[in-house]
Structure 1
Amino acid sequence: MASDTGRVLDTLMLPFDEGLLEWPTDGALFLRASHGVALHRRPGLVCEQGFRPDADTLEAAGFAVTGHDPARRYAIVLVLPPRQRDEARALFANAIARTAPGGRVIACVANNAGARSAESDLAAVAGPVSHLGKHKCRVFWTAPLDGPADAALAQAWAELDAPRTIEDGRFVSRPGVFAWARIDAASRLLAAHLPVGLAGDAADLGAGFGYLSAELLERCPGIGTLDVIEAEARALELARLNLERYATRAELRFHWLDATRGLPGRYDVIVSNPPFHAQGRADRPDLGRRFIEVAAESLQPRGRLWLVANRHLPYESALASGFAQVRTVAQEGGFKVIEGVRA
């Protein structure tokens, strides 16, 4: 049975497969690209993807993912809109801006992920669209474009992705980043229990826009270096902005990488609120378990992991195998804060 991504990509290519649209000879741009077999039938594809695991997969398959000219315009711009609507609208505005005169934007969304709403949004900013349905997905595409149908709306939507302040100005964030408009309760609970005596070389695993990194530096004066590790480039950019004020307080290093593949250093302290959903909505406890495993591999002897997780997630076996001491520090609001001490 085809994967969800495979079904979306097969449907995305349906207008070309059925001869309704012609694939351009000089290539096409794919925003928020994901890898699948369907891509290999289309030469000259230029991919952009800010989520490091997907970018790594595309690069391993032979697609160039970084270093493209943002001023280049394309006859075809493909889009996989994200679930968050403001982020998706900003992506549509960007797609139209990257389209050459007479070019088209083509997008695809699974039916249960808001396909009709996404189609309506593209039509609102680009004008009439055509669509096809297959594999429980919907592909929809514009008529030949010469800019947006509604220039004011396109400008307003483009600005939806701009960083903006939250938490009374303490942080900047943007739509689509995890818990983008607030500090999520799990991270806040972990921060409240960080002991002031944590010291040495530290890492924030899955740092998001930098909240836990900031709290660690605020609460623990003994932290001398901090590796800020995040797979989503849009979030890491925010973390850089949010942690600028601590640049003289500790040595900060920012890493755009997939933490499940290993960490760049050895640490005395690791803090983490691990993801448990990847890019979809289904629970992925394997991600959290892998975060725990790489933390154990990367901590110095007697190094300490401070972790928060949903209470129902089964992390106990990974903690028991990786750490000599494990204790539950707090349980509140459906979350648990755990400390693990390396042997």
Structure 2
Amino acid sequence: MTLPATRDHDPALEVLFHAIDTGALPWPRTGGALFLRARDGWPLHAAGRTGLVCEQTFKPAFDALQRSQLMVQADPVTDRFPLVLVLPPRQRDEARALFARAVSQCTDDGVVLACMQNDEGAKTGQSDLAKLAGPVSVLSKQHCRVFWTTALAIDETLRAEWRDLDAPRAIVDGRYTSRPGLFAWDRIDPASALLVKHLPADLAGRGADLGAGWGYLATEVFARAPKVTALDLYEAEARALDLARTNLAGEPRATFHWSDVGEGLPRRNYDFIVSNPPFHAHGRADRPDIGRRFITAAADALRPGGRLFLVANRHLPYESVLDARFGTTRTLAQAGGFKVVEAVRGK
């Protein structure tokens, strides 16, 4: 089998399997393994990794796993496994909820195996798993720490407490619903607020929101532009898209798409598009290529004369692709380290 080329070097994924590759921890002979927040890469395709079930709600990662013909689903897996693999996120409440989920999905004599980069909270993650499930073993490599339970000794009180730490909840004085782990989950992102401030009231027709998150931009488009007839929300994280549905409940003009915008949009001839594109992948390093793909997708999907309204960090180098793909561009605002750009597709 020819493995797909991976876009990113993924140390946490590679080191996650280090304990298995070195023989410190065996792969289950029966029962398989569950991989929460799974990401594709060469370690998943080594000989003997039978019975692997992947769970992933982030569309680009889901698609990569599916292209590699791995068993993957976005809905929560309910079966229990003798081995549960986890790549915990940096946000602590979300990570603790994921640990609680992992021990719940593990058989009584099973193992929970996790890995984090040192600068992404590995020491804290190790401590949290030990608090929840008893003593852990540890190996370090590539500035990452892989740690696993040697025998589950679950603190049931702590598991119950942590289980719902990433549950949806009201934010911004009850105006919206969000949850830990999403981008700007507990506040209105200042970049999005700046974009909203400079959206024209004459927006009309069918539009799209690329990287819609939990729905803040979309709610403001509807509130400020009554001539908008439809708005398609594109979001790669299913957990965020579910909350956008909640925050726009009762809005018949909104349509929701679980989608990797970087692969292009299924619809053409939009009258306008708004976007606050992501610029990070798994780590903290800037990934301006993600924003450039958003801009390219927008240019392809707008009608001639259609407008893109984009907000981004001022230092991100988007001008070359904007100039190449649009007829005219202008900066509407610069404040707080951000820039708002209007780009009009040439006729």
Quickly name the TM-score band, shorter chain normalised.
over 0.9
Structure 2 partner of 1:312: 315
* Native 8 Å contact 1:6 1:37 kept in 2: no
1:80 maps to 2:87: yes
CA distance in 1, matches of 2:292, 2:276: 12
Query: Counterparts in 2 of 1:189-228, with a 5 A limit?
Result: 189-228=194-233
- Name the structure 1 match of 2:96: 89
Cα drift, residue 6 of structure 1: 4.1
Q: 1:226 Cα shift?
A: 1.1
Give me the whole-angstrom Cα distance separating, in 2, the residues matched to 1:318 and 1:67.
33
Distance 1:293 1:74 in 2: 42
Helix, strand or coil at the partner of 1:161: coil
Letter in 2 for 1:261: E
| Aligned residue in 2 for 1:333 | 336
Partner SS state of residue 208, structure 1: coil
For residues 301 and 3 of structure 1, do their structure 2 counterparts lie closer, same or farther at Cα, with a shift above 3 Å needed?
closer
Task: Report % sequence identity.
Answer: 58
- Distance apart, 1:68 and its partner CA: 6.6
**In the TM superposition, what are the counterparts of 1:50-199 in structure 2 within 5 Å?**
50-66=57-73, 70-145=77-152, 149-199=154-204
Q: Which residue of 1 aligns with 2:3?
A: none
> Distance in 2 between the 1:80 and 1:70 partners?
16
Report the AA paired with residue 107 of structure 2.
A
Q: In 2, distance between residues paired with 1:33 and 1:19? A: 22
Q: Structure 1 residue 36 and structure 2 residue 41: aligned? A: yes
Alignment partners' CA distance in 2, 1:67 and 1:208: 17
- Which residue is 1:253 aligned to? 255
Which residue of structure 2 lines up, in the alignment, with residue 286 of structure 1?
289
1:273 to 261, 271, 276: 276
- Name the CA distance, whole Å, in 2 between partners of 1:19 and 1:316: 50
Q: Cα–Cα, structure 1 residues 18 and 316, in superposed 2: closer, same or farther, change >3 Å?
A: closer
SS at match of 2:277: coil
Aligned mate of 1:17, from 21, 24, 35: 21
- The CA distance in 2 between the partners of 1:155 and 1:298, in whole Å, is 46
Q: TM-score, normalised by structure 1?
A: 0.94
- In structure 2, give the amino acid aligned to 1:200: G
Q: Distance in 2 between matches of 1:168 and 1:39?
A: 44
- TM norm structure 2: 0.93
* Counterpart-to-counterpart distance in 2, 1:210 and 1:68: 21
CA positional deviation for 1:172: 0.6
Instruction: Kindly indicate whether the alpha-carbon contact (under 8 Å) linking 1:199 and 1:221 is maintained by their aligned counterparts in 2.
Output: yes
Partner of 1:264: 266
Deviations 1:238-279 (A, max 9, x none): 1111111423xx2x2111111000012121110000111122
Contact 1:123 1:129 in 2 (8 A): yes
| Structure ranking higher in helix proportion | 1
Alpha-carbon offset, residue 10 of structure 1: 3.0
State how far apart, in whole Å, the 2-side matches of 1:66 and 1:163 are.
21
Cα gap change, 1:306/1:69 in structure 2, threshold over 3 Å: closer, same or farther?
closer
In structure 2, distance between residues paired with 1:322 and 1:67: 34
State the Cα deviation string for residues 209-251 of structure 1 (Å, max 9, x = none).
000011001111111111110011111111111111423xx2x
> Where does structure 2 lack aligned partners over 5 or more consecutive residues?
1-5
Cα deviation code 1:30-70 (max 9, x no counterpart): 00111111111212110011111111111111112116773
Deviates more, 1:152-161 or 1:200-209: 152-161
Cα distance in 1 for residues equivalent to 2:74 and 2:315: 42
- CA separation of 1:7/1:52 partners in 2, compared to 1, >3 Å: closer, same or farther? same
Deviation at 1:21, TM superposition (A): 2.2
Asked whether the 8 Å contact 1:5–1:34 carries over to 2, the reply is: no
Matching residue's letter, 1:186: A
Aligned residue for 1:70, secondary structure, equals coil
Using the TM superposition, give the Cα deviation of residue 112 of structure 1 relative to its aligned residue in structure 2, in angstroms: 2.1
CA contact (8 A) 2:55 2:77 kept: no
Q: Hey, what's the Cα distance between the residues in 2 that align with 1:19 and 1:293?
A: 46
Asked if the contact 1:5–1:36 (Cα under 8 Å) also holds between the matched residues in 2, the reply is no
Relative to structure 1, the CA distance from residue 158 to residue 188 in structure 2 (aligned partners, 3 Å threshold; closer, same or farther) is same
Residue 300 of structure 1: aligned partner: 303
Q: Is the 8 A contact 1:95 1:105 kept in 2?
A: yes
Report the 3-state secondary structure (helix = DSSP H, G, I; strand = E; otherwise coil) of the residue aligned with 2:70: coil
Q: Whole-Å Cα distance in 2 between the matches of residues 69 and 216 of structure 1?
A: 32
RMSD: 1.6
